[in-house]
Structure 1
């Protein structure tokens, strides 16, 4: 029997906390029965939810803490006040101690990044972590990063993102040399900020065996599936993500409004309801919920704070897949190929202030 995948959950994270985390974990367990859970948070609130989920209760251990990170806490505040005692910190620390294979939280993104970086430290050659997500496209799926772990970045940072994203894509998509593009305002070489143009020159010159650099990708190229991996710094990446999610909800609402307008539209919906359901599923952000915090000595997954139980289950599923297929080891192997792909990129191993 294969070894269990041990998943540490910040049961107090997100807009709702245990009321979403526990049923979400139960849904993930039904899909992956070889999972075990460590639930960090207020034991009374967790127990009330666990009593409704007997299968999850049997596969879980509860570690009590009444300290949680608020959604509006600054990263520095979260580190000072929540370090060592908060549900978020304890879930991450379980990965560091080897008690869990992955940590999942729907809590404050800035606090999660700061705590994970402080607790787990970054991989050699990586100056800071990045949030990477699987993005549905017309051609299948792509990896997009950074989606908001940090803001800004020089050319070397973008190159590091390209290498990490390619490593993740090679594992997920079973491609030895995934295509990589840099998000830009145009495909012409003279367009974009200086750091983007410099990163493009570096990637062309390095000619890495683990990725196929294809050049610049415009915003609409993400959804088209122009590259297996699309790289950008966290500010523009987060804007792209929120714009895509908002557009998906907008289209869904438009369809609902138009279908309700006339009886002919309602009959048309009945005739094509399977197609509409498929479209709804593809546009539902909860089905692609869960971003991996790449670049750390451990696996951490960030869920949307306002997601429902189904969405949180998706984030837990992402964490399960990353741990089950040993993504961290494979990323390390990819980073070390060719004598160290990121040997020229400076490493910041100092604690977060």
Structure 2
């Protein structure tokens, strides 16, 4: 049976229209998806009129309030019980749905999810993980992308376990190639925290991953690594740098092609290639970051995502539920404890 997913209909730049349209597209691709739309009932009903095939597989839970992009996590927590985001996450907690998807405030969503769902046994802190495009056919899983500014070596070990489980589900790898982000690939490089995490992962040889030390930031997009692990501060800086570089390249190409008549003719000739580039870099095709390490599945969609992006986020949530992400993480955490008892993976 397909999972039932709660949709924070009020999150994102365009609210119910795009969130409902994205859910409709996901259900068109995967017949059987069920939805609980949370938010302003009248606005959701209005959006559903454009997707009559979705109405029979959906329910609406009215929410009086909405968490804005300006709300601080503490503010969001105080009013979470009456907001679309808070009620969507609570539906995961109660078991009314299998997962929740929101395009709202990231910090608020993390705070609400962590308070409502708590961290899994063996996990100190949840991490934000996402799929990033590479030069190869498969995306790279990278975490943490901003949930934890400072991390211990134990946190990084836990992130590696969670990232490998995520990669196995999304790409079907038996043992994803995992590396820690560092300032060099030599064993002596990096902080004590990174080196201690690497030592622990090398010892835990029975894990469902292929750990191979360190990688540098210039290798993130090459596709040479399946999972890249780092602290949230470094991960967020790296992510924003990649996004900025992608915009820089596309804007530079656009400016170059419009610079002269000859360039415009060249653009027409090379248009298939530039369209392929645009499609590959389109964030909607990689939409759906995940809060790994919680007792439930919560997926964060880009606030600016279109219906295709929202559909991808819904599909990520469904796959994680169907392929038992929580059980996979728990199994590998147990192996860490058994193979390397000196490594602490739980509070």
What is the CA distance between 1:43 and its match in structure 2?
Answer: 0.7
Is 2:200 aligned against 1:193? no
Of 120-129 and 19-28, more deviation after overlay is shown by 19-28
SS at match of 2:79: helix
SS at match of 1:149: coil
Go from structure 1 to structure 2 and tell me whether the alpha carbon gap of 1:58 and 1:264 turns closer, same or farther (over 3 Å shift).
Answer: farther
Which residue of structure 1 lines up, in the alignment, with residue 259 of structure 2?
Answer: 261
User: Conserved in 1, the CA contact under 8 Å of 2:120 and 2:295?
Assistant: yes
SS at match of 1:216: strand
Is 2:32 aligned against 1:34? yes
SS at match of 1:210: coil
Which residue of structure 2 lines up, in the alignment, with residue 234 of structure 1?
Answer: 232
Q: Distance in 1 between matches of 2:295 and 2:148?
A: 18
Structure 2: gaps (5+ residues): none
Is 2:135 aligned against 1:141? no
Go from structure 1 to structure 2 and tell me whether the alpha carbon gap of 1:60 and 1:94 turns closer, same or farther (over 3 Å shift).
Answer: same
What is the CA distance between 1:113 and its match in structure 2?
Answer: 1.1
Tell me the C-alpha RMSD between the 2 structures.
Answer: 1.9
SS at match of 1:272: helix
Of 181-190 and 167-176, more deviation after overlay is shown by 167-176
Q: How does 1:1-353 map to 2 (within 5 A)?
A: 3-82=1-80, 84-139=81-136, 140-337=138-335, 344-348=343-347
User: Conserved in 2, the CA contact under 8 Å of 1:131 and 1:148?
Assistant: yes
Q: Distance in 2 between matches of 1:287 and 1:329?
A: 27
Structure 1: gaps (5+ residues): 349-353
What is the CA distance between 1:338 and its match in structure 2?
Answer: 6.2
What is the CA distance between 1:295 and its match in structure 2?
Answer: 0.5
Q: Distance in 1 between matches of 2:242 and 2:31?
A: 33
Q: Distance in 2 between matches of 1:160 and 1:293?
A: 13
User: Conserved in 2, the CA contact under 8 Å of 1:299 and 1:319?
Assistant: yes
Q: Distance in 2 between matches of 1:317 and 1:206?
A: 32
The TM-score normalised by the length of structure 1 is 0.92
What is the CA distance between 1:217 and its match in structure 2?
Answer: 0.6
